[in-house]
Amino acid sequence: MQPRPGVPAEAVVDLAAITHNVGVVRRRVGAAAVMAVVKADAYGHGLVPVARAALAGGATWLGVAHVHEALALREAGVEADVLAWILTPGTDLVPAVRAGVDVSVAAVWALEAVVAAARATGRRARIHLEVDTGMSRGGASPAEWPALLDAVAKHVEAGAVQVRGTWAHFASADVPGDASVPAQLQAFEDALRTAREHGVDPGLRHHANSAAAFFVPSARYDLVRAGLAVYGLSPAPELATGADLGLRPAMTLAARLAHVRRVPAGAGVSYGLTYTVARETTLGLVPVGYGDGVPRHASWNGEHSGEVLVAGARRRIAGRVCMDQVVVDLGNDVAAPGDPALVFGPGADGEATADDWAAAAGTISWEIVTRIGSRVPRRYVGPTGGDVA
Ligand SMILES: *Cc1c(COP(=O)(O)O)cnc(C)c1O
């Protein structure tokens, strides 16, 4: 995989891989429907192209965090069911109700805001109720749940809202045998029963993220919300690699060397001169840095760093990741300005993967791909993306 000539760096997104990965999730979850999570610009891959590729793979729902993300899908002509799950006070919900966007409700104030938008538009708002089953992030607490249900029942009765789903989120579905998983499922069952007791039909029940979709069959319910797996990365790398799961990483971050030079033994490299070359060596300059989303935490720390594939081998980063560039140590190998430098990708050519970068930076692969910033142009390949690399 190479960047187009004349482009310092680009993120090549394989839309065929997105479509394929959704198919893998679908087969894994059997009767449950698949919501492809495309928040945060589809984890950095590009909202609209990924949404279309995911729908082509059989996803029937799209999931985003914010209402404005859902509206961007509608503006692009995407008509599939879409759920936005973070509401903040003051957000204008009229466009969302008008556009048939489902919004998540976790508190009475949010319900009232949705009801007001429904009244303003004369349309019934579509809501999903979020209940906290133990993660203590979003969702109504068990103590708040009954009062929220009573308010929901009243507005359903009045025709202002329609409950299309009830959901919660796992804290540790990627940890096999973790006691919180059955505890959260039990709390979810209790919440569903309470909903029915309060006269609220829960609609589609959904609790599973990618990890639960693969590894917790009893958590699949009616719908799974798959994010990371759609992008071809394993949600539990210790348990199974992406390849083990049949997934194909969709993003490759490809650059070209901007500069190549010899330096003598003893030369210090990059800010702080934290890397010193033991003997004469060749350094290559790769024009991506933390301004592009390459994590500064993946700098050389005396033992390891992120690695870039140049001239057939993975090269450590010599010193610190800068805003716009990193320096790699090529030893005595021959390279020239313009040569491809693969930062991460599927690994097929020997390049590092997003998981490798996550390990080098002390983070998770979700963050590696999602952080690749807007300065890096995206290029789409695969059946729905134009040219095939
Ligand atoms: C981001 C997110 C997901 C997707 O999680 P993955 O681990 O990437 O599959 C699912 N549900 C909610 C509520 C989320 O915020």
Task: Provide the whole-model pTM.
Answer: 0.97
What single-letter amino acid sits at 178? D
Please report the pLDDT score of residue 385 as a whole number. 56
Please report the pLDDT score of residue 384 as a whole number. 57
Q: pLDDT over 90 for what percent of the chain?
A: 96
pLDDT surpasses 60 at 224? yes
Please report the pLDDT score of residue 161 as a whole number. 98
pLDDT surpasses 80 at 98? yes
Mean pLDDT value across residues 138-153: 98
- Name the CATH superfamily, with its identifier, for domain 251-381: Lyase, Ornithine Decarboxylase; Chain A, domain 1 (2.40.37.10)
Model confidence band, residue 389 (pLDDT cutoffs 50, 70, 90): very low
Could you identify the atom of ligand 1 that is nearest to the CA of residue 85? Answer: 13
- The CATH number assigned to the domain with range 60-229 reads 3.20.20.10
**Mutation to probe ligand 1, out of 22, 28, 37 (largest number of atoms < 8 A from CB):** 37
Q: Is 154 annotated as catalytic?
A: no
Model confidence band, residue 5 (pLDDT cutoffs 50, 70, 90): confident
Please report the pLDDT score of residue 183 as a whole number. 98
Model confidence band, residue 73 (pLDDT cutoffs 50, 70, 90): very high
Give the residue extent of every domain in the chain.
60-229, 251-381
From the list 39, 43, 231, 290, the catalytic residue is: 39
Could you identify the atom of ligand 1 that is nearest to the CA of residue 235? Answer: 7
Which tens digit of pLDDT belongs to each residue from 147-205?
999 999 999 999 999 999 999 999 999 998 999 999 999 999 999 999 999 999 999 99
18 touches ligand 1 (CB under 6 Å): no
